[in-house]
Structure 1
Amino acid sequence: MLTRFFNVDGEKNIPASFSTLLLLGASVLLGRISFMQFRRKAPFTHWLVLSVGFLMMAIDEFLSFHERLMKPVKTLLNVEDVAIFRHAWVIPAALLILLLIPYFWNFMRQLPTRTARMFIIAASLYLGGALGIEVIGGYYASTQGFDFMYKMIATVEESLEMAGVILFIHELMIFIGDSKNWQTKQSENKIAAESSSEFAG
């Protein structure tokens, strides 16, 4: 009974709920940043797209919509018997990521160096688990079964995903804090400039 509730490879249990909450948290923070950028009349579209994307990921994490893609993708690509594509949903997911890279390229280049670097590390952790280790786990399950080693692979996969989102959330919070400090400094400079003008007048 407890195994089902704490199985990292399971659905609608404690680890899945935790992952869902992490993704929702990231979505909320991204939404907040997009609103902050909008108020500053700064570019906000990419932040908003990320916010919506993480919201969709959270919904998918809880309801496992991506699992329903496996059979249609296998049939479409004729890879039903290819062990490495047991989790065939990774194919359209990888293609989607490749398509999004050009869209976010300039956005990443315009971010502060530290922020961009940490975003890349967080994405690498998450995608390394969600796609890379997922493929390895699928291959192992197809050839060896769902034994203890498979459970270890699944644990590594989910741990990488969680670590990636946690790191991403951490960096988003730092970015929000830095933005607030910047806004405060701008306001103080504006007040100081107005005071100087009045004094000079």
Structure 2
Amino acid sequence: MRSKRSNDFSRQFLVPTYNLSPSKVTKFLLLIIFFLIFFNLGERVIVYWLNANYDNQFISHYFNFDQESNFPSLYSALTLGFCSYLLALIAVFKKSSQAIYAKHWKALSWIFLFLAIDEACSIHELSIPILRNAINAKGIFYFTWVIPGFFLVVLFLITFRKFIQSLPMKIKIIFISAGAIYVTGALGMELVGGYLADSSGYNTVYGIATTLEELLEMFGIVIFIHGLLTYIQSQLTELHFSLSFHRPKKKNIQTPKYK
């Protein structure tokens, strides 16, 4: 005899509905960025005070925008992964409606998934010493990954130009603005940071440049997420998810009888 408690888990359970409106999500992400900036400045002040008063070299990286494997990099990786997820949702919807650019949405999803993994694992930085020694890079190309990075951006624009042109005007403006801000931070400020690191070392000015670089990337992603949610909102009124824990019933396959 089955207990009452086990019966409770055999029925359907409805979870609360969450309103992921573009404005609410954007405000939430901007609030997180504000706290990251606040703790970053606080960390820098504390480290400077400790170094000045104890004549030592204290280093902290938990909220440092120029360090990896900390809270800012975790936030960036998660938001890039969220972009990949939203793009995958749009790709599924476009594929079901047999839209002409369904494959482009899917390709974008994979691109942002790679960017999220790269942000978490710093894959692109592995190429820096190899390329630097190969071409003896200095100045603005001190961080040599920007060279293949620019070629990839150009290739992306050529490949996706018709897709971008097909977007509604409002979404097109949001996407282009987000991309321009993100690339300005990721590549443009990386050129500035490379010049500063090569000419004067990893000093305070370099720290300000890298902080600005990360902030531009973060704001670019927030704008992009706002555009994706706005686009989804224009296409769908509601989006439902369901999880089923029942095994699919096996169909009885009858083998043909031969005489």
What TM-score results when the alignment is normalised by the length of structure 2?
A: 0.67
Which residue identity does 1:59 align to in structure 2? I
Deviation at 1:2, TM superposition (A): 8.2
In the alignment, the residues of structure 1 paired with residue 139 and residue 169 of structure 2 have an alpha-carbon distance, to the nearest angstrom, of 40
Q: Who is 1:10 aligned against? A: 67
Note the 1:36-115 alignment, pairs <5 A.
36-43=93-100, 44-76=102-134, 78-80=135-137, 82-115=138-171
Which residue identity does 2:69 align to in structure 1? K
* Aligned partner of residue 29 in structure 1, secondary structure: helix
Q: Who is 1:116 aligned against? A: 172
Deviation at 1:39, TM superposition (A): 1.1
Give yes or no for contact 1:26–1:54 (8 Å, CA) kept in 2: yes
Q: Who is 2:230 aligned against? A: 174
Which residue identity does 2:87 align to in structure 1? L
Q: Who is 1:25 aligned against? A: 82
Give yes or no for contact 1:83–1:139 (8 Å, CA) kept in 2: yes
1:128 aligns with 2:191: no
Structure 2's unaligned 5+ residue stretches are 1-57, 238-259
Identical columns (%) = 37
User: How many residues matched?
Assistant: 180
Larger CA Rg, structure 1 vs 2: 2
* Aligned partner of residue 5 in structure 1, secondary structure: coil
CA shift digits 1:120-142 (9 cap, x unpaired): 10000000000000110111011
In the alignment, the residues of structure 2 paired with residue 31 and residue 2 of structure 1 have an alpha-carbon distance, to the nearest angstrom, of 40
In the alignment, the residues of structure 2 paired with residue 155 and residue 71 of structure 1 have an alpha-carbon distance, to the nearest angstrom, of 22
* Aligned partner of residue 128 in structure 1, secondary structure: helix
CA shift digits 1:91-138 (9 cap, x unpaired): 001101111212101101110011111101000000000000011011
Any runs of at least 4 consecutive aligned residues in structure 1 with deviations exceeding 3 A, and if so which?
none
Give yes or no for contact 1:79–1:85 (8 Å, CA) kept in 2: no
Q: Who is 1:194 aligned against? A: none
Alpha carbon RMSD of aligned pairs, Å? Answer: 1.5
1:149 aligns with 2:205: yes
In the alignment, the residues of structure 2 paired with residue 91 and residue 127 of structure 1 have an alpha-carbon distance, to the nearest angstrom, of 13
What TM-score results when the alignment is normalised by the length of structure 1?
A: 0.86
Which residue identity does 2:223 align to in structure 1? L
